Chain A
Amino acid sequence: KNQVEQSPQSLIILEGKNCTLQCNYTVSPFSNLRWYKQDTGRGPVSLTIMTFSENTKSNGRYTATLDADTKQSSLHITASQLSDSASYICVVSVSNFGNEKLTFGTGTRLTIIP
Chain B
Amino acid sequence: DTGVSQDPRHKITKRGQNVTFRCDPISEHNRLYWYRQTLGQGPEFLTYFQNEAQLEKSRLLSDRFSAERPKGSFSTLEIQRTEQGDSAMYLCASSLGYFGTNEKLFFGSGTQLSVL
List chain A positions with a Cβ less than 8 A from chain B: 4, 31-32, 41-46, 49, 51, 89, 91, 93, 95, 98-102, 104-107
Contacts and interface: CB of A to CB of B under 8 A. Distances in A.
Tell me which of A32, A43, A100 has the highest count of chain B C-beta atoms within 10 A of its own C-beta: A43
Contacts, number: 49
A106 B41 contact: yes
Interface in B7-59: 40-45, 56
A100 B107 contact: no
A107 B44 CA distance: 13
A45 B106 CA distance: 7
Given A43-B93, A45-B107, A46-B105, A31 B40 contact: no
Given A41-B112, A43-B91, A100 B99 contact: yes
Nearest to A104: B42
**Interface residues on chain B, size class:** 20 to 34
Contacts of A106: 40-42
Contacts of A49: 102, 104
Interface string B67-82: 0000000000000000
5 contacts: A32-B102, A46-B106, A98-B100, A102-B105, A106-B40
A46 B104 contact: yes
Contacts of A42: 109-110
A42 B56 CA distance: 25
B43 A44 contact: yes
B45 A101 contact: yes
B108 A43 contact: yes
A44 B104 CA distance: 11
Contacts of A41: 109-110, 112
